[in-house]
Structure 1
Protein backbone atom coordinates (compact mmCIF):
# COMPACT_ATOMS: atom_id res chain seq x y z
CA UNK A 1 0.00 0.00 0.00
CA UNK A 2 1.32 3.47 -0.84
CA UNK A 3 2.36 5.70 2.06
CA UNK A 4 -0.37 8.22 1.22
CA UNK A 5 -3.04 5.51 1.15
CA UNK A 6 -1.84 4.14 4.47
CA UNK A 7 -1.95 7.58 6.09
CA UNK A 8 -5.45 8.18 4.73
CA UNK A 9 -6.61 4.82 6.05
CA UNK A 10 -4.98 5.60 9.39
CA UNK A 11 -6.95 8.83 9.68
CA UNK A 12 -10.16 6.99 8.79
CA UNK A 13 -9.46 4.32 11.40
CA UNK A 14 -8.89 6.94 14.06
CA UNK A 15 -12.27 8.44 13.16
CA UNK A 16 -13.85 4.98 13.04
CA UNK A 17 -12.66 4.25 16.58
CA UNK A 18 -14.48 7.42 17.64
CA UNK A 19 -17.71 6.17 16.07
CA UNK A 20 -17.68 8.00 12.74
CA UNK A 21 -20.23 6.55 10.33
CA UNK A 22 -18.70 8.54 7.49
CA UNK A 23 -15.30 6.91 8.06
CA UNK A 24 -16.97 3.51 8.19
CA UNK A 25 -18.82 4.07 4.92
CA UNK A 26 -15.65 5.33 3.25
CA UNK A 27 -13.73 2.18 4.25
CA UNK A 28 -16.68 0.04 3.20
CA UNK A 29 -16.81 1.47 -0.31
CA UNK A 30 -13.02 1.48 -0.62
CA UNK A 31 -12.55 -2.21 0.11
CA UNK A 32 -15.88 -3.89 -0.66
CA UNK A 33 -15.17 -4.65 -4.32
CA UNK A 34 -11.64 -5.94 -3.67
CA UNK A 35 -12.95 -8.27 -1.00
CA UNK A 36 -15.95 -9.32 -3.09
CA UNK A 37 -13.78 -10.36 -6.03
CA UNK A 38 -11.58 -12.51 -3.83
CA UNK A 39 -14.56 -14.06 -2.06
CA UNK A 40 -16.41 -14.82 -5.29
CA UNK A 41 -13.44 -16.80 -6.61
CA UNK A 42 -13.68 -18.99 -3.51
CA UNK A 43 -17.42 -19.22 -2.88
CA UNK A 44 -18.86 -19.01 -6.42
CA UNK A 45 -22.06 -17.58 -4.98
CA UNK A 46 -22.94 -13.85 -4.99
CA UNK A 47 -25.42 -14.46 -2.17
CA UNK A 48 -22.77 -16.02 0.05
CA UNK A 49 -20.30 -13.30 -0.84
CA UNK A 50 -22.83 -10.70 0.27
CA UNK A 51 -23.43 -12.64 3.48
CA UNK A 52 -19.71 -12.75 4.28
CA UNK A 53 -19.28 -9.05 3.46
CA UNK A 54 -22.15 -8.05 5.72
CA UNK A 55 -20.75 -10.13 8.56
CA UNK A 56 -17.26 -8.78 7.95
CA UNK A 57 -18.20 -5.11 8.06
CA UNK A 58 -20.55 -5.64 10.99
CA UNK A 59 -17.57 -7.04 12.87
CA UNK A 60 -15.44 -4.09 11.76
CA UNK A 61 -17.99 -1.73 13.27
CA UNK A 62 -18.65 -3.68 16.45
CA UNK A 63 -14.90 -4.15 17.12
CA UNK A 64 -13.86 -0.70 15.98
CA UNK A 65 -12.49 0.28 19.38
CA UNK A 66 -9.98 -2.60 19.28
CA UNK A 67 -8.60 -1.73 15.82
CA UNK A 68 -5.04 -0.41 15.70
CA UNK A 69 -4.90 2.56 13.28
CA UNK A 70 -1.17 1.97 12.80
CA UNK A 71 -1.73 -1.42 11.20
CA UNK A 72 -2.94 -1.81 7.56
CA UNK A 73 -6.70 -2.23 7.48
CA UNK A 74 -6.56 -4.15 4.19
CA UNK A 75 -4.62 -7.04 5.77
CA UNK A 76 -7.07 -7.07 8.68
CA UNK A 77 -10.12 -7.19 6.41
CA UNK A 78 -8.75 -9.98 4.23
CA UNK A 79 -7.74 -12.01 7.28
CA UNK A 80 -11.21 -11.72 8.82
CA UNK A 81 -12.78 -12.56 5.44
CA UNK A 82 -10.66 -15.70 5.19
CA UNK A 83 -11.75 -16.75 8.69
CA UNK A 84 -15.39 -16.21 7.76
CA UNK A 85 -14.95 -18.39 4.68
CA UNK A 86 -13.47 -21.10 6.90
CA UNK A 87 -16.56 -20.83 9.10
CA UNK A 88 -18.76 -21.19 6.02
CA UNK A 89 -17.00 -24.38 4.97
CA UNK A 90 -17.39 -25.75 8.48
CA UNK A 91 -21.12 -25.16 8.08
CA UNK A 92 -21.01 -26.86 4.69
CA UNK A 93 -19.65 -30.00 6.34
CA UNK A 94 -22.91 -30.15 8.33
CA UNK A 95 -25.25 -28.97 5.58
CA UNK A 96 -25.59 -31.44 2.69
CA UNK A 97 -27.31 -28.96 0.37
CA UNK A 98 -24.65 -26.33 0.96
CA UNK A 99 -21.89 -28.90 0.50
CA UNK A 100 -23.32 -30.04 -2.83
CA UNK A 101 -23.44 -26.45 -4.07
CA UNK A 102 -19.78 -25.95 -3.20
CA UNK A 103 -18.68 -29.21 -4.80
CA UNK A 104 -20.57 -28.41 -7.99
CA UNK A 105 -19.37 -24.82 -8.16
CA UNK A 106 -15.76 -25.67 -7.57
CA UNK A 107 -15.89 -28.51 -10.10
CA UNK A 108 -17.39 -26.39 -12.87
CA UNK A 109 -15.19 -23.30 -12.72
CA UNK A 110 -11.44 -22.78 -12.63
CA UNK A 111 -10.19 -20.10 -10.31
CA UNK A 112 -6.74 -18.86 -9.34
CA UNK A 113 -5.66 -19.19 -5.75
CA UNK A 114 -2.72 -17.25 -4.39
CA UNK A 115 0.19 -19.51 -3.52
CA UNK A 116 0.21 -18.29 0.06
CA UNK A 117 -3.24 -19.78 0.64
CA UNK A 118 -2.14 -23.30 -0.34
CA UNK A 119 -0.60 -24.02 3.03
CA UNK A 120 1.64 -26.93 3.90
CA UNK A 121 -1.15 -28.24 6.11
CA UNK A 122 -3.53 -28.54 3.15
CA UNK A 123 -0.88 -30.19 0.99
CA UNK A 124 -0.31 -32.67 3.79
CA UNK A 125 -4.06 -33.40 3.99
CA UNK A 126 -4.11 -34.17 0.28
CA UNK A 127 -1.03 -36.38 0.54
CA UNK A 128 -2.62 -38.33 3.41
CA UNK A 129 -5.85 -38.76 1.43
CA UNK A 130 -3.95 -40.09 -1.60
CA UNK A 131 -2.18 -42.61 0.65
CA UNK A 132 -5.60 -44.04 1.59
CA UNK A 133 -6.36 -45.02 -2.02
CA UNK A 134 -5.98 -48.69 -3.04
CA UNK A 135 -2.40 -49.33 -4.31
CA UNK A 136 -3.17 -49.57 -8.02
CA UNK A 137 -5.59 -46.62 -7.94
CA UNK A 138 -3.03 -44.57 -6.04
CA UNK A 139 -0.35 -45.44 -8.60
CA UNK A 140 -2.62 -44.40 -11.49
CA UNK A 141 -3.62 -41.20 -9.73
CA UNK A 142 -0.06 -40.17 -8.91
CA UNK A 143 1.14 -40.82 -12.46
CA UNK A 144 -1.75 -38.93 -14.00
CA UNK A 145 -2.36 -36.10 -11.56
CA UNK A 146 1.00 -35.47 -9.95
CA UNK A 147 3.31 -36.43 -12.80
CA UNK A 148 0.97 -35.08 -15.50
CA UNK A 149 1.08 -38.18 -17.68
CA UNK A 150 -1.73 -38.77 -20.19
CA UNK A 151 -4.19 -41.64 -19.96
CA UNK A 152 -2.44 -43.28 -22.91
CA UNK A 153 0.99 -43.00 -21.30
CA UNK A 154 -0.27 -44.48 -18.04
CA UNK A 155 -2.09 -47.20 -19.97
CA UNK A 156 1.10 -48.28 -21.72
CA UNK A 157 3.24 -47.94 -18.62
CA UNK A 158 0.98 -50.08 -16.42
CA UNK A 159 -0.31 -52.38 -19.20
CA UNK A 160 -3.95 -51.51 -18.58
CA UNK A 161 -6.58 -49.97 -20.86
CA UNK A 162 -7.26 -46.23 -21.04
CA UNK A 163 -10.78 -47.00 -19.87
CA UNK A 164 -9.37 -48.61 -16.74
CA UNK A 165 -7.17 -45.56 -16.15
CA UNK A 166 -10.21 -43.33 -16.52
CA UNK A 167 -12.19 -45.48 -14.08
CA UNK A 168 -9.40 -45.30 -11.48
CA UNK A 169 -9.20 -41.51 -11.80
CA UNK A 170 -12.96 -41.03 -11.46
CA UNK A 171 -13.14 -43.24 -8.38
CA UNK A 172 -10.06 -41.60 -6.87
CA UNK A 173 -11.52 -38.13 -7.43
CA UNK A 174 -14.79 -39.15 -5.80
CA UNK A 175 -12.99 -40.52 -2.75
CA UNK A 176 -10.69 -37.50 -2.42
CA UNK A 177 -13.56 -35.00 -2.74
CA UNK A 178 -15.47 -36.73 0.02
CA UNK A 179 -12.39 -37.06 2.20
CA UNK A 180 -11.48 -33.39 1.87
CA UNK A 181 -15.08 -32.30 2.42
CA UNK A 182 -15.10 -34.19 5.72
CA UNK A 183 -11.57 -33.46 6.91
CA UNK A 184 -10.71 -30.05 5.50
CA UNK A 185 -12.13 -26.54 5.88
CA UNK A 186 -10.77 -24.07 3.37
CA UNK A 187 -8.98 -26.97 1.75
CA UNK A 188 -12.07 -28.07 -0.13
CA UNK A 189 -12.31 -24.69 -1.80
CA UNK A 190 -8.65 -24.61 -2.74
CA UNK A 191 -8.29 -28.16 -3.98
CA UNK A 192 -11.59 -29.28 -5.45
CA UNK A 193 -11.02 -27.71 -8.86
CA UNK A 194 -7.60 -29.29 -9.19
CA UNK A 195 -9.02 -32.68 -8.22
CA UNK A 196 -11.77 -32.33 -10.82
CA UNK A 197 -9.46 -31.64 -13.76
CA UNK A 198 -9.12 -34.75 -15.90
CA UNK A 199 -5.81 -35.81 -17.38
CA UNK A 200 -5.45 -35.20 -21.11
CA UNK A 201 -5.63 -38.09 -23.54
Structure 2
Protein backbone atom coordinates (compact mmCIF):
# COMPACT_ATOMS: atom_id res chain seq x y z
CA UNK A 1 0.00 0.00 0.00
CA UNK A 2 2.95 2.35 0.65
CA UNK A 3 3.63 3.07 -3.01
CA UNK A 4 0.05 4.20 -3.65
CA UNK A 5 0.53 7.26 -1.44
CA UNK A 6 3.16 8.46 -3.92
CA UNK A 7 0.80 8.35 -6.92
CA UNK A 8 -0.72 11.55 -8.27
CA UNK A 9 -4.52 11.94 -8.36
CA UNK A 10 -4.59 11.33 -12.13
CA UNK A 11 -2.55 8.12 -11.73
CA UNK A 12 -4.95 6.99 -8.99
CA UNK A 13 -7.94 7.71 -11.26
CA UNK A 14 -6.39 5.52 -13.99
CA UNK A 15 -5.92 2.66 -11.50
CA UNK A 16 -9.41 3.21 -10.07
CA UNK A 17 -10.92 2.98 -13.55
CA UNK A 18 -9.37 -0.48 -13.91
CA UNK A 19 -10.99 -1.60 -10.63
CA UNK A 20 -7.95 -1.25 -8.35
CA UNK A 21 -9.24 -1.37 -4.77
CA UNK A 22 -5.95 -0.13 -3.32
CA UNK A 23 -6.20 3.00 -5.49
CA UNK A 24 -9.74 3.52 -4.19
CA UNK A 25 -8.53 3.14 -0.59
CA UNK A 26 -5.77 5.69 -1.19
CA UNK A 27 -8.29 8.20 -2.66
CA UNK A 28 -10.59 7.53 0.29
CA UNK A 29 -7.80 8.15 2.81
CA UNK A 30 -6.55 11.20 0.94
CA UNK A 31 -9.90 12.97 0.69
CA UNK A 32 -12.15 11.64 3.47
CA UNK A 33 -11.17 14.10 6.21
CA UNK A 34 -11.19 17.24 4.05
CA UNK A 35 -14.57 16.30 2.53
CA UNK A 36 -15.99 15.41 5.92
CA UNK A 37 -14.90 18.81 7.30
CA UNK A 38 -16.67 20.61 4.45
CA UNK A 39 -19.86 18.55 4.58
CA UNK A 40 -20.06 18.74 8.37
CA UNK A 41 -19.77 22.54 8.05
CA UNK A 42 -22.91 22.41 5.89
CA UNK A 43 -24.96 19.85 7.80
CA UNK A 44 -23.80 20.36 11.40
CA UNK A 45 -24.61 16.71 12.01
CA UNK A 46 -21.91 14.03 12.29
CA UNK A 47 -24.01 11.06 11.23
CA UNK A 48 -25.58 12.86 8.27
CA UNK A 49 -22.17 14.14 7.15
CA UNK A 50 -20.70 10.62 7.33
CA UNK A 51 -23.65 9.23 5.35
CA UNK A 52 -23.13 11.84 2.62
CA UNK A 53 -19.39 11.06 2.40
CA UNK A 54 -20.09 7.32 2.33
CA UNK A 55 -22.51 7.78 -0.56
CA UNK A 56 -20.06 9.99 -2.49
CA UNK A 57 -17.31 7.37 -2.24
CA UNK A 58 -19.69 4.51 -3.05
CA UNK A 59 -20.73 6.31 -6.24
CA UNK A 60 -17.09 7.06 -7.05
CA UNK A 61 -16.33 3.31 -6.95
CA UNK A 62 -19.46 2.28 -8.87
CA UNK A 63 -19.04 4.96 -11.58
CA UNK A 64 -15.23 4.84 -11.75
CA UNK A 65 -15.12 3.77 -15.40
CA UNK A 66 -16.96 6.94 -16.46
CA UNK A 67 -14.47 9.35 -14.85
CA UNK A 68 -12.29 11.24 -17.32
CA UNK A 69 -8.60 10.57 -16.75
CA UNK A 70 -7.73 14.27 -16.65
CA UNK A 71 -10.57 15.11 -14.24
CA UNK A 72 -9.70 17.19 -11.18
CA UNK A 73 -10.39 14.58 -8.49
CA UNK A 74 -10.71 17.11 -5.66
CA UNK A 75 -13.11 19.18 -7.76
CA UNK A 76 -15.15 16.11 -8.64
CA UNK A 77 -15.56 15.14 -4.98
CA UNK A 78 -16.23 18.71 -3.74
CA UNK A 79 -18.88 19.19 -6.43
CA UNK A 80 -20.52 15.86 -5.56
CA UNK A 81 -20.64 16.90 -1.88
CA UNK A 82 -22.14 20.30 -2.64
CA UNK A 83 -24.73 18.87 -5.03
CA UNK A 84 -25.78 16.23 -2.50
CA UNK A 85 -26.51 18.93 0.09
CA UNK A 86 -28.28 21.14 -2.48
CA UNK A 87 -30.49 18.20 -3.38
CA UNK A 88 -31.47 17.99 0.28
CA UNK A 89 -32.35 21.69 0.26
CA UNK A 90 -34.55 21.24 -2.81
CA UNK A 91 -36.35 18.14 -1.60
CA UNK A 92 -37.19 19.13 1.94
CA UNK A 93 -37.77 22.07 4.19
CA UNK A 94 -34.33 21.80 5.69
CA UNK A 95 -32.95 23.35 8.85
CA UNK A 96 -31.88 26.93 8.23
CA UNK A 97 -28.22 26.26 8.98
CA UNK A 98 -27.93 24.02 5.91
CA UNK A 99 -28.37 27.03 3.67
CA UNK A 100 -26.46 29.30 5.99
CA UNK A 101 -23.26 27.31 5.86
CA UNK A 102 -23.21 26.59 2.13
CA UNK A 103 -21.96 30.12 1.51
CA UNK A 104 -18.88 29.36 3.59
CA UNK A 105 -18.36 26.07 1.75
CA UNK A 106 -18.57 27.70 -1.68
CA UNK A 107 -16.39 30.68 -0.77
CA UNK A 108 -13.66 28.52 0.78
CA UNK A 109 -13.45 26.13 -2.15
CA UNK A 110 -11.41 26.95 -5.23
CA UNK A 111 -13.98 28.37 -7.69
CA UNK A 112 -12.27 26.46 -10.52
CA UNK A 113 -13.29 23.19 -8.90
CA UNK A 114 -16.94 24.15 -8.62
CA UNK A 115 -19.13 23.95 -11.67
CA UNK A 116 -21.77 26.65 -12.06
CA UNK A 117 -25.13 25.89 -10.57
CA UNK A 118 -27.88 25.14 -12.96
CA UNK A 119 -30.24 28.11 -13.24
CA UNK A 120 -33.20 25.72 -13.13
CA UNK A 121 -32.04 24.46 -9.73
CA UNK A 122 -31.69 28.00 -8.40
CA UNK A 123 -35.17 28.90 -9.68
CA UNK A 124 -36.55 25.82 -7.93
CA UNK A 125 -35.01 26.86 -4.60
CA UNK A 126 -36.31 30.42 -4.98
CA UNK A 127 -39.76 29.13 -5.92
CA UNK A 128 -39.87 27.06 -2.73
CA UNK A 129 -38.99 30.14 -0.70
CA UNK A 130 -41.76 32.13 -2.43
CA UNK A 131 -44.28 29.37 -1.66
CA UNK A 132 -43.37 29.57 2.03
CA UNK A 133 -44.33 33.27 2.28
CA UNK A 134 -47.58 34.21 4.05
CA UNK A 135 -50.49 33.86 1.53
CA UNK A 136 -51.26 37.56 0.95
CA UNK A 137 -47.59 38.51 0.74
CA UNK A 138 -46.99 35.64 -1.68
CA UNK A 139 -49.90 36.70 -3.89
CA UNK A 140 -48.61 40.29 -4.07
CA UNK A 141 -45.03 39.16 -4.68
CA UNK A 142 -46.06 36.81 -7.50
CA UNK A 143 -48.14 39.52 -9.18
CA UNK A 144 -45.14 41.82 -8.98
CA UNK A 145 -42.42 39.37 -10.10
CA UNK A 146 -44.21 36.82 -12.25
CA UNK A 147 -46.86 38.97 -13.90
CA UNK A 148 -44.75 42.13 -13.83
CA UNK A 149 -47.60 44.29 -12.51
CA UNK A 150 -46.76 47.68 -11.02
CA UNK A 151 -47.51 48.40 -7.36
CA UNK A 152 -50.38 50.61 -8.53
CA UNK A 153 -51.87 47.83 -10.71
CA UNK A 154 -51.61 45.31 -7.87
CA UNK A 155 -53.20 47.78 -5.44
CA UNK A 156 -56.17 48.26 -7.78
CA UNK A 157 -56.51 44.54 -8.47
CA UNK A 158 -56.50 43.59 -4.76
CA UNK A 159 -58.21 46.72 -3.44
CA UNK A 160 -55.20 47.76 -1.35
CA UNK A 161 -53.21 50.96 -1.04
CA UNK A 162 -50.02 51.43 -3.10
CA UNK A 163 -48.11 51.75 0.16
CA UNK A 164 -49.37 48.39 1.46
CA UNK A 165 -48.34 46.68 -1.77
CA UNK A 166 -44.91 48.31 -1.72
CA UNK A 167 -44.39 47.27 1.90
CA UNK A 168 -45.45 43.67 1.23
CA UNK A 169 -43.05 43.36 -1.74
CA UNK A 170 -40.23 44.80 0.38
CA UNK A 171 -41.04 42.40 3.22
CA UNK A 172 -41.08 39.44 0.82
CA UNK A 173 -37.63 40.42 -0.47
CA UNK A 174 -36.38 40.83 3.10
CA UNK A 175 -37.41 37.23 3.79
CA UNK A 176 -36.26 35.62 0.53
CA UNK A 177 -33.09 37.56 -0.29
CA UNK A 178 -31.01 36.60 2.79
CA UNK A 179 -31.98 32.93 2.46
CA UNK A 180 -30.83 32.75 -1.15
CA UNK A 181 -27.75 34.87 -0.56
CA UNK A 182 -26.76 32.51 2.25
CA UNK A 183 -26.63 29.72 -0.32
CA UNK A 184 -24.06 31.80 -2.15
CA UNK A 185 -26.12 33.16 -5.04
CA UNK A 186 -25.84 36.89 -4.46
CA UNK A 187 -25.18 37.54 -8.18
CA UNK A 188 -28.09 35.46 -9.44
CA UNK A 189 -30.45 37.05 -6.95
CA UNK A 190 -29.78 40.45 -8.48
CA UNK A 191 -31.20 39.09 -11.72
CA UNK A 192 -34.08 36.98 -10.41
CA UNK A 193 -35.23 39.09 -7.46
CA UNK A 194 -34.39 42.56 -8.79
TM-score (norm 1): 0.53
Conserved in 2, the CA contact under 8 Å of 1:41 and 1:111? no
- The answer to whether the aligner puts 1:132 opposite 2:125 as a matched pair is no
Distance 1:91 1:30, change over 3 A: same
Measure how far apart 1:87 and its partner are. 2.2
The match for 2:183 among 175, 179, 190 is 190
Q: Counterparts of 1:107 and 1:71 in 2: how far apart (Å)? A: 28
Distance 1:15 1:47, change over 3 A: same
Distance 1:137 1:26, change over 3 A: same
Unmatched 5+ stretches in structure 2: 131-137, 143-164, 185-194
Write out per-residue CA displacement over residues 139-168 of structure 1, whole angstroms, 9 at most, x where no aligned residue: 4787xxxxxxxxxxxxxxxxxxxxxxxxxx
Aligned to 2:66: 66
Q: Counterparts of 2:102 and 2:71 in 1: how far apart (Å)? A: 33
Q: Counterparts of 1:17 and 1:119 in 2: how far apart (Å)? A: 27
Q: Counterparts of 2:101 and 2:77 in 1: how far apart (Å)? A: 26
Aligned to 1:51: 51
Write out per-residue CA displacement over residues 83-125 of structure 1, whole angstroms, 9 at most, x where no aligned residue: 21222223324xxxxx3xx12x359979624355896955994
Conserved in 1, the CA contact under 8 Å of 2:17 and 2:65? yes
Aligned to 1:162: none
Aligned to 1:31: 31
Conserved in 2, the CA contact under 8 Å of 1:106 and 1:189? no
RMSD: 4.1
Q: Counterparts of 1:22 and 1:10 in 2: how far apart (Å)? A: 15
Between Structure 1 and Structure 2, how many residues are aligned? 139
